[in-house]
Amino acid sequence: MSLILNSFKKLMYAHLFFLVIMSLFRAVFVWYYNPLENISEYTSDVIQAFILGFRLDLTVVGYIQVIPTLLLIALYYIKKERLLQFFNQLFVLYLFVCYVAVSLFLTADFGFYSYFKDHINIIFFGLFDDDTHALMITFWQNYPVVLILSLFVLYVVLIFAVVRKIFKSNNRIIQSFFGLKISFLVFASIFVLNFLAVRGTVGMYPLGKMIPNVSTNEFINKISHNGFRAFTTAYGIRKEYLKRKYDLIEATGFHHNIEKAFEFYSAPQPINKENLLSNITHTTQKVDDKEYNVIVIMVESFGMPILKYQSDEFNILGRLKKHFDEDTLLTNFISAGDGTISSLQSLLLNIPQRPKSFAFSQSIYKQTSFTYSPAFLFNDAGYESTFVYGGDLTWRNLGSFVKYQGYQNIEGKINIYEHLTNKTKSKEEYFHPWGIFDEYLYEHIFNKLKSDKKQFIVALSTNNHPPYNVPNDYERKSLVFNENIKHHLVGDFELAQQRFASYAYAVDQVGAFLDRFKASPYKENTIIAITADNNTIDGIMKYDDNELLNSKNIPLYFYIPESLKKKLQINTEVAGSHKDIFPTLYNMALDNQEYISVGSNLFDASKKHYGFNGSMIVNHENQIEQLQSLETQTKSELLNFYKANLAITQYLIDTYHKEQKGSK
């Protein structure tokens, strides 16, 4: 018994050592990402967050301890000292491997937070579907990889040395376990303690399943979490989805009652119960008889909040500024998702992003043709439809998915390069790790307007993306970071400078494209919508007010020919998100056309307008609220309307998927 209890004691010392390390990870997280002006005002909350975090870390250690606990209990009854010595040596290796694995997740979580301002979530798995080579280049160019690896190797050596030293320490005679001497009671107590460590609480829900808030401040609540538990939670969601247990209608409370969701959507108008989709079917109200080209551009990571610092010294907008001043800019607009693919699919399908779901292009819907979507409608109206992406079409199976959505032309970076004229540089100079430089994407779009056919073009840029490359021959605009800007940045300042340099290039090229476009005859017969996929700059910014809106805020710009613009009622303060862009364009370009959409025409003052973000955030006029979970019961009219829209969205896509599946 003394030998067995010595082994338990050494295991506890090793775990205590690692718990201290996990708390140090948490302290570095607070030091590096803290957006608060004066964190001392929240001292009590921060202490509670660290205590809760320690308990959460203890659940991880509890899981690691399960195998040694069971083995040591068995070894007591086997009574073979040599076998016990062997397993004590094995425990050194076991703990070392477990601690290093957990440390890798803590480190990955730290990096993940810098981009998504959240701990590891389901988006994490999408990173494995990105271009691996480009990811490696990103890490190499944005981070001191050699230094990080060197420090990590030293850290790994330290862990091994400490754990090994603990297990090499001499045994002492242990007479009892907190006064208990009967083996059954000793081991039952140890087993119960191990169980409680895993559970983290004696409450109804295990701590990892339900992590309570300790503060009114969102950042402080995030302090408690650790990367390993965040990963296991995200993995569980992914596993459920892959098993097809993802049921948004049930989660939102409309299972066997989907009609209620449509009643929320249509209120106060009665609904058509015989054909539910007719309740989200609309007819365009075109205000003139002219025909227009339609161009929609999604600019990578074009967040809105940084634009308030625009000045001659900090010229972040470049040539786009005058177009923002001259034309229509909606400023109360939020992204559908927090990643590129989630916002893009919301745009392409006129729907909100479904929380915690996978990309359509990598799911059971990857070969489903959603024939109500934009390309099908524009094709029927005599347009030539093109989807053009500045990167590889294999990214997230995007090219394959878009093919099923009716686009006649699907073009990636190689297609853009091949169509370029006057190539004066080596081939490599036209590309960055994630695709072709944005200026060539816009040249390609402009050249398409020379066609005799009406053009419908949807484009996605790649440039404002790590590792934040800018062409060597690009003449950079002034980006002087004054003290006010620096004060609102968190994290590594040099990396922030690279990010803003890439941002400035990306939006400046949009401005250069619009300069050229407005000097051409196409300005009379072309409508252009320009927006972003998300505000990833949020990861390194802190805000003076309205953090919820600012974190998701992106611009929506329209160029509308003057003769048409005069006939429209435009409110630039209207709320919205990606689901609303095409319904707005349909009503300007298509005559008497029926269309299905969860979103609405932003220029229709008779409608109520809402923005939906996949982090379960809703904005409407001057209101913005966040739902804590899909299952949350709430009295908020805004959040219940959002839940109804999600249920309708799932009903819509499942209807089309079942129809397609049945016809095959």
Domain 284-626 has CATH 3.40.47.10: no
The pLDDT value recorded for residue 171 is: 78
Detail the DSSP E strand segments found in 133-291.
281-283
Do residues 13 and 168 lie in contact, with contact meaning Cβ atoms separated by under 8 Å? no
158-162, 228-232, 459-463 — which is least confidently predicted? 228-232
Q: Tell me how many degrees the CA angle 391-394-399 measures, rounded to the nearest 5.
A: 90
Its pTM stands at: 0.77
What is the mean pLDDT of the segment spanning 234-251?
75
241 pLDDT band, cuts 50/70/90, is low
pLDDT(206) > 80: no
What is the mean pLDDT of the segment spanning 199-228?
77
Do residues 581 and 599 lie in contact, with contact meaning Cβ atoms separated by under 8 Å? yes
The pLDDT value recorded for residue 132 is: 62
Task: Specify the higher pLDDT residue, 131 or 34.
Answer: 34
243 pLDDT band, cuts 50/70/90, is low
136-145, 420-429, 545-554, 580-589 — which is least confidently predicted? 136-145
What is the mean pLDDT of the segment spanning 355-373?
87
What is the mean pLDDT of the segment spanning 433-446?
95
What is the mean pLDDT of the segment spanning 328-341?
95
What is the chain's mean pLDDT, rounded?
90
The pLDDT value recorded for residue 604 is: 96
Q: What is the 3-state secondary structure (H, E, C) of 138-197?
A: HHHHHCCHHHHHHHHHHHHHHHHHHHHHHHHCCCCCCCCECCECCHHHHHHHHHHHHHHH
What is the mean pLDDT of the segment spanning 411-418?
92
The pLDDT value recorded for residue 663 is: 60
Task: Specify the higher pLDDT residue, 319 or 201.
Answer: 319
**DSSP annotation of 478:** P
What is the mean pLDDT of the segment spanning 77-106?
89
What is the mean pLDDT of the segment spanning 380-398?
92
Helices (H), 169-243: 183-199, 218-223, 227-242
The pLDDT value recorded for residue 221 is: 85
269-283, 328-342, 391-405 — which is least confidently predicted? 391-405
pLDDT(378) > 70: yes
The pLDDT value recorded for residue 324 is: 98
Give, to the nearest 10 degrees, the angle between helix 43-78 and helix 227-242.
70
The pLDDT value recorded for residue 72 is: 86
pLDDT(129) > 70: no
244 pLDDT band, cuts 50/70/90, is low
The 10s digit of each residue's pLDDT in 488-518 is 998 888 888 999 999 999 999 999 999 999 9
Do residues 330 and 574 lie in contact, with contact meaning Cβ atoms separated by under 8 Å? yes
pLDDT(664) > 60: no
Phi, psi of 102 (to 5 degrees): -65, -40
pLDDT(200) > 70: yes
Domain positions in the chain: 2-232, 284-626
534 pLDDT band, cuts 50/70/90, is very high
The pLDDT value recorded for residue 205 is: 58
pLDDT(133) > 80: no
pLDDT(383) > 90: yes
Residue 71, strand partner residues: none
pLDDT(465) > 90: no
pLDDT(218) > 80: no
pLDDT(162) > 90: yes
554 pLDDT band, cuts 50/70/90, is very high
